[in-house]
Structures are given as structure tokens and as C-alpha cells.
Amino acid sequence: MAHDHDGHHHHHDGEGQEPPSDMALRVKALETLLVDKGLVDPAALDAIIDTYEHKVGPRNGARVVARAWSDPAYKARLMADATAAIAELDYEGRQGEHMVVVENTPEVHNLVVCTLCSCYPWPVLGLPPVWYKSAPYRSRAVIDPRGVMAEFGTTVPDDIEIRVWDSTAEVRYLVLPERPAGTEGLDEAALAELVTRDGMIGVRRL
Amino acid sequence: MNGIHDMGGMHGMGPIAPEADEPVFHADWEAKVLALNLASNSGWNIDAGRHQIELIPAPDYLRMTYYEKWFRRVQELLVIHGAITPEELASGRPDPGAERKAPRLPAAMVGPVLRRGGPATREVDIAPAFQPGDRVRAKDLNPTGHTRLPRYAKGRVGTVVRDHGVHVFPDTNAHFQGEHPHHLYSVRFEARELWGETAGARDAVYVDLWESYLERA
């Protein structure tokens, strides 16, 4: 595992038993209990994990961006009603119920954060990376967006306005990056290859 | 609540440290925790779920990983909502004589349920108090329960840029006191209004705020 364990476990008051020392064992114990009680269908767990490991991820968002770059009418629909335009590509549902797309231009750069928890547009970007959910990013993105972006190797000139979008409600934001120069000859599939997750969060420029 | 989760604008949390080629999950148990949270929902809503994580004491909140918090949250909610007993949680076995329940989310429903999601908008005809362009001030509200008004915006003046329509109100919904849907707005705060003269002169933070968080400025 990529994180530290401090050796402490988080007791529920009144629990008389020492919990197992390892998260895997503790989670397995809860899973077994819930399956034994009939509350959880084990096949449902597999289906959920398969969805977020294999079916939903930033390639979805990249297709949306590439379509917007290639098709002006699609881009117009995307900017007017992002939820409906994204559903045209068959991406919809949990944590993407109310989508808004914010467009980078030569004058404006957009950056998305959730300072209060970890809100993120799952249908187009998948589950958020650890850094997006972590205290350093959540605390500083709103007060020091240029310093945050610098940690990703991104420099934004002072004459470009930075707009930080704090996802405090059920509205989810996707950044539409600027189409890179010199890509005029590329088709939609090739354009999608240029689009990165970090570009659609706004911490990097393409 | 003015909890540790409300961390926008704080310093001292360390470097961001993005991980190259990060996997979706760092261990199988993380995937299982995500799936258990979604598949075992026994009557709570998304706002109550967020609030349960906010209730983790601050020192633990900062020390625990994301999925450790999710694991704690699902155990607590399952007990609070009576799906399991504290004794079952401790023993890992159903209580003697416990009635076998039906799955909350049958495998066949996973696709449709994820695809439908949980829209927060409600078809209620309420006139908006504010229009795009209106100047508004975020009220200095300090409820001890759940709220989505971040501390850094309180008392600050911004401009309404968009009316998102009528959305469920988390402050009541999290506590099962009703959805009380009302207008939600995107409000633009100039960076210098929030952070003072050292902030970028052109920069801004956009916050989604419910009408009851706002007053005319």
C-alpha cells in the first residue's frame, strides 16, 4: 500500500474486541458479514469495481474534448447543456448528474477543486487521483492556484485570468482545454490521445 | 460545521505530490470499500454520507487515507440505520436469529443505478431571488451540522454568474430534515476579495452557493 499506517486502529466505542491489524482483513470481515446477512450481493461488488477500474475513466472525457474540438455544433451544445451533450456520447450518471464545461481560452485558464470533500466528475474522468482528494490540493487550490499548478510544472502567465471552480454542490466541472497548435490535420481519435486527465482538471495545460 | 474538512485557504498541508501512472485503487481492499459503500446503502443519502466523514475527529481525519475514511463511514452508517448491530460489527457474524435481508443493490441493478445516479435538481416552481449580475454577500453562518458554505467565502461579496436551478439543500437533507430544495447559484468571488492584495489581480474563485447562504450586497 502506498500510505503509512501508524499502528492505531479506529475503535468504535463499546467494541470489546481488538480489530484485526490489517485493513484488508477488516474490510473482508465487513464484506463477509454483509453478504452473510443478505444485505450485499457479492456479484454487485464485482460489477461496481469492474465499472470503475475498467469502464469509466479519463478516456471518456478525452472523447468529449476531442469531439468539441472537431465539431463546432457539438461544442455549442456542450457549452449550453454539458450534461445532455456528454450523454450523447453515452457518459452519464453517478457524480455527473449536473455537468458544466468551462473553456480555456488565450485569456482564461480554469482549475477545478473540491475544498470540502472530493467531488469529481466520475462519468468523464473516473475516480479521482489521491492528490485531488488530499489536504494539500484542497487547501491551496483556491488561495494559490498558480503555486499549485507550478507543482505540476505548469506556469500560467500573469495576464491570463485563472478561474478556480470549487465543487461545493452537485454540479461537476470539466475543463475544456485549448486545442494544441499544429493539430489541424488530426482526426477525433488522434485528438483524444492528446487530452490528459490533468488537463481536464486544469492543473496542466496541453 | 467549522470542521477540518473545510480546508480551502489553509496553509501547512505539505506538497501535493502527484503520483505518476497512479492505479485506480492502491489495494484490493480499497476497491472493496468503494463497492461496499455503494452496494450496502441502507437509507442514507449523499449529504448524510459526506457529513459522516466530516464527523471524524480532526486528528484522525488528517491521518487517515481516503478509503480508510470511507470504511469508517460505511460501518457507522450501517449501524446508525439499523442494517447491522454493533454486536454484529464487533463479531463479524450475524446475530443469532437475525432475519436474512434482501440485497440493497442486486448485481443486475448496478448498471442502471450507476447510470441513473442521483440527480439533485427538483421540479419545483420557485422564483429565484437573484439574477446573474447581482452582487451578493455570503452570510456568516456557522451551523454545527452539515453545510456546503465554505468558511473562506463567509462575509465575502461576489457576483452571481449562473442560476443552476432548484437543488436539494444539503444542510437539511444530511440530517433527514427534508430536502428543502431551493435555488443554487454559481457565485464569482474576485481572488483579492477572498485573499487580499497579494492574490492575482485578475483571478477569481467560483463557488456554488444556495440562495439561503446569500444576501443582497
Q: What is the pLDDT of residues A93-120, one digit of tens each?
A: 999 999 999 999 999 999 999 999 999 9
Taking only Cα atoms into account, the Rg of chain A, rounded to an integer number of angstroms, comes to: 20
Contact A169 B148 (CB under 8 A): yes
Q: Where are the alpha helices (DSSP H) in chain A?
A: 23-36, 42-50, 58-70, 72-80, 82-88, 122-125, 130-133, 135-140, 145-150, 188-194, 197-201
Residue % of chain B over a pLDDT of 90: 99
Identify all chain A residues contacting B55, using CB atoms and an 8 Å cutoff: none
Going from the N-terminus, what domains does chain B have, and what CATH number goes with each?
Answer: 28-116 (1.10.472.20), 135-216 (2.30.30.50)
Identify all chain B residues contacting A140, using CB atoms and an 8 Å cutoff: 10-11, 13, 16
Does position A17 have pLDDT exceeding 60, yes or no? no
Domain with CATH 3.90.330.10 in chain A: 57-201
Contact A12 B89 (CB under 8 A): yes
Taking only Cα atoms into account, the Rg of chain B, rounded to an integer number of angstroms, comes to: 20
Q: How far apart are CA A64 and CA A85, in angstroms?
A: 9
Burial (CB < 10 A; 0-12, 13-18, 19+), residue B171, is: buried
Question: What is the ipTM score, two decimals?
Answer: 0.98
Q: What is the pLDDT of residues A159-205, one digit of tens each?
A: 999 999 999 999 999 999 999 999 999 999 999 999 999 999 999 99
Does position A30 have pLDDT exceeding 70, yes or no? yes
Q: What is the pLDDT of residues B98-134, one digit of tens each?
A: 999 999 999 999 999 999 999 999 999 999 999 999 9
Q: What is the pLDDT of residues B161-185, one digit of tens each?
A: 999 999 999 999 999 999 999 999 9
Does position B85 have pLDDT exceeding 70, yes or no? yes
Residue % of chain A over a pLDDT of 70: 90
- Active-site annotation of A, residues: 114, 117-119
Q: Going by C-beta distance under 8 Å and a sequence separation of 6 or more, which residues neighbour residue B103?
A: A38, A39, A40, A41, A44, B39
Question: Which CATH number does A57-201 carry?
Answer: 3.90.330.10
Q: How far apart are CA B86 and CA B80, in angstroms?
A: 9
Residue % of chain B over a pLDDT of 70: 100
Which is more confident, A31 or A1? A31
Contact A168 B149 (CB under 8 A): yes
Distance from CA of A179 to the nearest CA of B (A): 22
pLDDT of the residue at A9: 41
Q: Label the pairing between strands B182-190 and B157-167.
A: antiparallel
Cα–Cα nearest to A99, from A109, A88, B66:
A88
Mean pLDDT of chain B: 97
pLDDT of the residue at A21: 55
Contact A33 B118 (CB under 8 A): no
**Cα A95–B64–B172 angle (5° rounding)?**
45
